[in-house]
Structure 1
Amino acid sequence: MATNDNISEYLIAPRPSRTGLTRGVTGTDQNGDKIDLNVVEERPLTIYLNAQEIVTAMTIGDYPEYLALGFLRNQGMLDDSETVTRVDYDDELSVVVVRTKSKTTFEDKLQKKTRTSGCAVGTVFGDMMDGLDQVKLPDVRTRTSDLYTLAAKINRTPSLYLQAGAIHGTVLCQGDRPLVYMEDVGRHNAVDKIAGWMFSQKVSADDKILYTTGRLTSEMVIKTALMGIPVLASRSGFTAWGVEIAQQVGLTLIGRMKGQRFVCLSGEERLLRDADPQSVPDEPRKSGRKGHK
């Protein structure tokens, strides 16, 4: 059951009751009975870098400035040396403009687009692997007790997912504390919002954990690595390319994290198993998944 007990730990927590994030609709259930429910709103947001239009993303509409900054940061269009002078958001036009001190031109990069496996049609410009060979993630140990604690806290946090579903959540964590919880229709958007917050607040990634409700795909692994975060965990499963890239860059990758159980496919040597799984409340296994231990 969701509670408000741990909301005070967050620097940014979900706001499921915020106006405009959901819309009430009426339908019928399997018996033909009337049913009222809330569904997630999605709307276009066009991102500009100075005078250049970059992309139009489908999003729930919260934290547009962080989404724009994070998208540009994760696309390699903003780096730590760049000075952002202003970020202007026009709610009526659904446009956000990121302005920088120096001139920027990315015509060549914009010519090459890669559709990713992210929900809501994620898009990556240029070479997805750009910069990965230069990534040096910190060699940090991760306590399994922290992972169990984080999963329990995050799963109890009131969220748009619990209220309406059809959405992904991504949480920036430190030790056993969840710091920033972002949600969106696409997990890539939720990650970009985290990246934008970190960029604007100049937050170090060295001792952070990224927790996501979505699949551990190549895109998720690449974005996490390029953000400099050494640990990525999820309730969901993996893709083979995601695992391969995590092993290549030295990212600790943990999936299928439910109750007592999880699977580590990269970074086992960096796990500090300081918690007895039997002391953790378990979740019932789904039928047809008996082969997964």
Structure 2
Amino acid sequence: MTHAPDMADYIIAPDPMSPRLTRAVVGTDQFGNATEISVVEERPLTIYLNSREIVTAMTIGDYPEYLALGFLLNQGMITAADDVMGVDYDEELEVVVVRTAIETNHEEKLKKKTRTSGCAVGTVFGDMMDGLQGVMLPKLQVRSSDLYALAHKINRTPSLYLEAGAIHGTVLCQADKPLIYMEDVGRHNAVDKIAGWMFQARESGDNKIMYTTGRLTSEMVIKCAAMGIPVLASRSGFTAWGVEIAQQVGLTLIGRMRGQRFVCLSGEDRLVRDVDPASIPEEGRKHGRKGGGRG
């Protein structure tokens, strides 16, 4: 019997029933029969830093203020030390304006770019690696029992993925508790929303774990390190550069987490194997997913 997760752990959880995030579309199946499925909405969101237009991101449209703040933070355009005077969202214009007390040095040297919803985002402002110089993350120990518990809870949490598919999820966790669960058509958007929440909540990443459904690429590792989070785990696999950067900054990197199995390619010395994998049930191929696969 599958038990529902304890939703009390979550500060923010997905809202798969929100009518703004999906729509019903009628098509035909392999037999030619009419069928109706939920598909994820995709909207442009233009982010301004003070008076300068920075980027247009394709997003599902929830938590636009967190997305804007997190994107600017993770690209190094603003820092935790900056005095953010306001974050203003205009739903009709689909625009977020982030205002700082002192104009940063990024506005004039950036040109407008469009960030697509695909997995290969391709839009990176400046050299993100510059922000990692001298970074060494805290040596947080992570227990395998916590990883298994997180995967079990997160994979059974009601979500847009289970409702409609074509979506990525990223979850900020502490020990075995999932705290902030964000979804979006691009995995980087989901990470940026968490970064924005952490900035506004003044939440430290020192004792946190980031769990994501997406691949462990260089940009995912860089963003996690920039957020001060020492552990990054995923259902998916790795890229070589992502692994190299994780080793460089001391980030514990764990991928291919499915059922009893996972692989650790960085930070093995901080992984405490405190449970017999044979005691963990194998994961079913689906957890009630109704729609298409992940994007």
Q: Which deviates the most, 13-22 or 126-135?
A: 126-135
Deviation digits for residues 153-186 of structure 1, max 9, x if unmatched?
A: 0001000000000000000000000000000000
CA distance in 2, matches of 1:181, 1:146: 17
Count of residues in Structure 1 that have an aligned counterpart in Structure 2: 286
Deviation digits for residues 223-267 of structure 1, max 9, x if unmatched?
A: 001111000000000111111111111110000000000000001
1:262 alignment counterpart: 262
1:134 alignment counterpart: 134
Structure 1 109/224 Cα, relative in aligned 2: closer, same or farther at 3 Å?
farther
What's the CA shift for 1:2? 7.8
CA distance in 1, matches of 2:20, 2:247: 41
Structure 1 118/230 Cα, relative in aligned 2: closer, same or farther at 3 Å?
farther
CA distance in 1, matches of 2:143, 2:118: 29
**TM-score normalized with structure 2 length:** 0.92
- Tell me if the contact between 2:54 and 2:112 (Cα under 8 Å) persists in the aligned partners: no
Pair 1:204 & 2:197 matched: no
1:290 alignment counterpart: none
Q: Which deviates the most, 80-89 or 37-46?
A: 80-89
Secondary structure in structure 2 of the residue aligned to 1:87: strand
Structure 1 110/45 Cα, relative in aligned 2: closer, same or farther at 3 Å?
same
2:292 alignment counterpart: none
CA distance in 1, matches of 2:149, 2:133: 33
RMSD after superposition: 2.2
Secondary structure in structure 1 of the residue aligned to 2:27: strand
Secondary structure in structure 1 of the residue aligned to 2:133: helix
- Tell me if the contact between 2:56 and 2:115 (Cα under 8 Å) persists in the aligned partners: no
User: Aligned runs of 1:26-105 on 2, under 5 Å?
Assistant: 26-105=26-105
Secondary structure in structure 2 of the residue aligned to 1:125: coil
Deviation digits for residues 78-134 of structure 1, max 9, x if unmatched?
A: 111111111110000000011111122314652598989962735210013112122
1:27 aligned partner, one-letter code: G
Deviation digits for residues 185-205 of structure 1, max 9, x if unmatched?
A: 000000000000000110010
CA distance in 1, matches of 2:44, 2:114: 19
User: Aligned runs of 1:1-293 on 2, under 5 Å?
Assistant: 4-107=4-107, 109-110=109-110, 119=119, 121-283=121-283
Which stretches of structure 1, 4 residues or more, deviate above 3 A after TM superposition?
1-5, 111-118
CA distance in 1, matches of 2:20, 2:87: 22
Secondary structure in structure 1 of the residue aligned to 2:67: helix
Secondary structure in structure 2 of the residue aligned to 1:58: strand
2:12 aligned partner, one-letter code: I
- Residue identity (%): 74
CA distance in 2, matches of 1:20, 1:114: 23
- Tell me if the contact between 2:137 and 2:229 (Cα under 8 Å) persists in the aligned partners: yes
2:39 aligned partner, one-letter code: V
Structure 1 gaps, min length 5: 286-293
Q: Which deviates the most, 77-86 or 229-238?
A: 77-86
Structure 1 135/109 Cα, relative in aligned 2: closer, same or farther at 3 Å?
farther
1:129 aligned partner, one-letter code: M
What's the CA shift for 1:74? 0.3
